[in-house]
Amino acid sequence: MKANGVQHKKDPGGHITVQDLTMMYGNFVIQHDLNFTIPRGDIFIIMGGSGCGKSTLLRHMIGLKAPARGRVLFDDISYWESSSAEQQRIKRSFGMSFQSGALWSSLTLAENVALPLGEYTDLTAADIAEVVSLKLSLVGLAGFEEFYPSEISGGMQKRAALARAIALDPEILFFDEPSAGLDPISSRRLDDLILELRDSLGTTIVVVTHELASIFTIGDNAVFLDAETRTMIAIGNPRTLRDGSPNPVVRQFLNRGEL
Amino acid sequence: MPGQLSLQFHSPDDLRVVLAGSWLLVDSLPSADDVALQLQSRSDVHRLSFDGKAITQWDSGLLIFLARVYQLASEGRIHVDPGGLPEGARRMMKLATAVPPQEDTGKHSKPPPVLERIGLRSLSMWRAGPEMLHFLGEVTLSFGRLFRGTAQYRRSDLMLIIEDVGAHALPIVSLISFLVGLIVAYMGAVQLAQFGAQIYIANLVSLGMTREMGALMTGVIMAGRTGAAFAAQLGTMQVNEEIDAFRTLGFNPIDFLVLPRMLALILMMPLLVLYAGIVGITAGMFVAVTVFDISTFEYYQQTVRSMAWSHIWVGVIKGTVYGMLIAFAGCLRGMQCGRSAQAVGEATTSAVVTGILFIVIAASLLTILFQELGI
Ligand SMILES: Nc1ncnc2c1ncn2[C@@H]1O[C@H](COP(=O)(O)OP(=O)(O)O)[C@@H](O)[C@H]1O
Ligand SMILES: [Mg+2]
């Protein structure tokens, strides 16, 4: 949570490194031999057809699922080879918004955002309430503090989940299809928010998304997972990949199916 | 250096908020109350500006301070000039204020007064009756369609549920019936032995297990095991909008989900009750033979002599009725479930409570009925 708003600079080293990662469910290989490095302060896009393993890759990166082979490193510390206290410390630097929102259904939106603040900071109840309002207004949900997740729309649930993910000003944010189900204006505001979080707080952001407009607006780097060969077939800046990737599958994806 | 705040007057109507140091949420930060005080004492302030050049680092801590100052300014109709703030903070504040707070959300944060709560509570209890009758009606119609062969449900679902409520319940039913048989036999035998009438253990156990205890114990087990499972399954489907998906596709969720569950339990309960009776009688024999020196053959003879088909029928009919009620309570609560994890928990609890309540009421009524009929 050490944000250095004003003098923020990208440091050249990798914040997150994925090494020779192979992911399996049982004996079924989802993706194999993934290798990439995400620099601090990067907005990194994971893309690929649906069912190719994007959500599964995120689950490996946030420590919900152990790799079948390979390693995931944060600042050169291998997550799965660390002690559980160390793992806990690393996890504290994450914020995650799940594909389906995953808000706690028995808590109001305010309580959802407040829960991590109450557990992990020494803030007073009044301060927490202010942070909660701020986070909810950042995602355009000011005034909905007292609503339960079942009382708001799917798109609003998605945004509330984002507010919860950014509650602790985490160093790394993971978003699983954050703009699916949002109207174009909310989706655009979300892109602005993601860029702003990176620019002003220096947050490293990993986004799974299909939204081409969003990929080109926010993405510094992107990896393309292929369902056919079950591995990554392209990595780099998405605009460069769109115009000059040697792989026709990638060019097709980034040009909406037109070559 | 932790965050610091000082206030200067640039010109008489222009208050400048000078910020310095590190404005992180984890630090103890100056509060916006000083700004509020200044604004209150000087009603001629028309402009608020910032000087943030000396801020070393910041996060949400700075933003909540600014949000508070912005709010104070808007209350006092004071123009805010964010120019002196760090670039990023300025843009974040712009994002945070881009969508104005929703005023009329139709949400009352204050709980209603006591009288109103009592009223609401009574109304909801009053409505529970018709709701239950409505569900009963739907289930009856669904059974009507089943007999006419037009009910839409999957035979394979029915088979799976039958396996789950029948075969998979055998271990727990065996254990409980064996223990109940054991207890009835032992408690009875101690008393009967005082008159040298141990042989009547057989009558006590066979009658008790077939007429009452077999059905009752199986009913209670199934309410906890299967009634709860039904409510949890249907409740979770309600949360995930799966039941709405059935409706939109033109399937009747009662036919598709409730009918096979009711049917499975109605078919399996009589078998389980018979089985519980046999296990209980075996347990009685075990006690009689090992503790009270009665031979297996004698016990068998006495059991056969004391039994009548009517006892078996009474037990089986009771069991079937209990089964129907358990499945009804479980499915009713599941279908009524709200849309949260909490609601699923409440539905499950309520299914078990309602199921056992139904069983107790039915047990009393049926006992009186059979008594009157002289069966
Ligand atoms: N819990 C699971 N058990 C087995 N296979 C799974 C599980 N979750 C996902 N899969 C499989 O893994 C693949 C990738 O899933 P996922 O990562 O959710 O895809 P997406 O790229 O759309 O997010 C899919 O083919 C899916 O069938
Ligand atoms: Mg996914």
Contact A138 B59 (CB under 8 A): no
Decide whether any atom of ligand 1 lies within 6 Å of the A50 Cβ: yes
Does one domain contain both B82 and B129? no
- Between CA A155 and CA A139 the distance in angstroms is 11
Pocket-testing residue among A30, A45, A60, A174, ligand 1, by greatest number of atoms within 8 A of Cβ: A30
Specify the CATH number for the domain of residue B60.
3.30.750.24
Residue B251 CA to ligand 1 centre (angstroms): 29
Domain assignment present for A161: yes
Do the domain assignments include residue B113? no
Is-contact A142 B100, C-beta < 8 A?
yes
> What is the average pLDDT across B235-259?
87
- Suggest the residue from A120, A130, A156 to mutate for an interface test with chain B (most B CBs closer than 10 A): A130
Question: Can you tell me the mean pLDDT for B109-123?
Answer: 85
Q: β-pairing, B47-58 with B14-23?
A: parallel
A136 within some domain: yes
Averaged pLDDT, B250-255: 88
pLDDT band for position B109 (cuts 50, 70, 90): low
Q: In this predicted structure, what is the pLDDT of residue A259?
A: 66
Indicate whether A186 belongs to any domain: no
Reported as a single tens digit per residue, the pLDDT across B84-94 is 888 888 888 88
Q: In this predicted model, which residue has the larger pLDDT, A10 or B115?
A: B115
> In this predicted model, what pLDDT tens digit does every residue of A85-124 receive, in sequence order?
898 889 888 889 888 888 888 889 999 999 888 888 888 8
Please state, in angstroms and rounded to a whole number, the distance separating the CA atoms of residues A186 and A139.
8
Shared domain check, B139 and B40: no
Q: How far apart are CA B33 and CA B69, in angstroms?
A: 9
Contacts of B168 (CB under 8 A, 6+ apart): none
Same domain, B275 and B316: yes
- Is pLDDT above 90 for B37? no
- Number of C-beta neighbours around residue A201 at 10 A: 25
User: Do B130 and B63 share a structural domain?
Assistant: no
pLDDT cut 70: percent of chain A above it = 95
- The pLDDT assigned to A6 comes to 37
Prediction ipTM score? 0.72
Please tell me whether residues B86 and B199 are part of one structural domain.
no
d(CA B42, CA A74): 52
Q: What is the pLDDT of residues A33-42, one digit of tens each?
A: 999 999 999 9
Residue A255 forms part of a structural domain:
no
**Is A225 inside any structural domain?**
no
How many domains does chain A fold into?
1
Asked if residue B87 and residue B146 are part of one domain, the reply reads no
Distances (CA, A) of B78 to A136, B32, B98: 25, 15, 18
Q: A185 lies in a domain?
A: no
Asked if B45 and B19 touch (Cβ cutoff 8 Å), the reply is: no
Positions in chain A short of pLDDT 70: 1-13, 259
Q: pLDDT tens digit string along B292-339?
A: 888 999 999 999 999 889 999 999 999 999 999 999 999 999 999 988
Asked if the structure places residue B105 within a domain, the reply is no
Task: Specify if A113 maps to a domain.
Answer: yes
Please enumerate residues of B whose Cβ is less than 8 A from a Cβ of A. Answer: 24-26, 55-60, 62-64, 67-68, 86-89, 91-92, 95-103, 105, 107, 109, 239, 338-343
| Residue among B25, B64, B88 whose CB faces A5 most closely | B88
- In a domain, residue B309? The reply is yes
CA A175 vs CA A33, A51, A187, A207: distances in Å: 23, 17, 13, 5
- Find the domain containing A157 and state its range: 104-169
Residue B109 lies in a domain: no
Is residue B140 scored above 70 in pLDDT? yes
Q: What is the interface size between A and B, counted as CB pairs within 8 Å?
A: 109
- Given a contact cutoff of 8 angstroms between Cβ atoms, the answer to whether B341 and A105 are in contact is yes
pLDDT at B253: 92
Question: Do B91 and B142 lie in a common domain?
Answer: no
Residue B78: give the domain boundaries.
4-96
Total count of domains within chain B: 2
Q: Identify whether B103 is part of a domain.
A: no
Predicted pLDDT at B83: 86
| Beta carbon of A56 within 6 Å of any ligand 1 atom | yes
The whole-number pLDDT of residue A13 equals: 62
Specify the pLDDT at position B47. Answer: 87
Q: Using only C-alpha atoms, what is the Rg of chain A?
A: 18
Q: Is the pLDDT of residue B355 over 50?
A: yes
Is the CB of B26 less than 8 angstroms away from the CB of A1?
Answer: yes
- List helix spans (H) across A9-100: 54-61, 84-92
- The answer to whether residue B112 sits within a structural domain is no
CA dist list (Å): A87 to A63, A67, A82, B85: 8, 15, 6, 37
- Yes or no, beta carbons of A196 and B100 under 8 Å apart: no
- Residue A56 has what pLDDT? 93
Q: Which two tokens stand for residue A148?
A: 């339960």
Whether the pTM exceeds 0.80: the reply is no
Is B243 inside a domain boundary? yes
- Note whether residue A119 is domain-resident: yes
B259-291 helix and B155-165 helix, angle to the nearest 10 degrees: 20
Sheet holding B79-81, edge to edge: B4-11, B14-23, B47-58, B79-81
Which pLDDT does position B190 carry in this prediction?
Answer: 86
In sequence order, the β-bridge partners of residue A45 are A207, A222
**Domain end point (choices B96, B128, B157):** B96
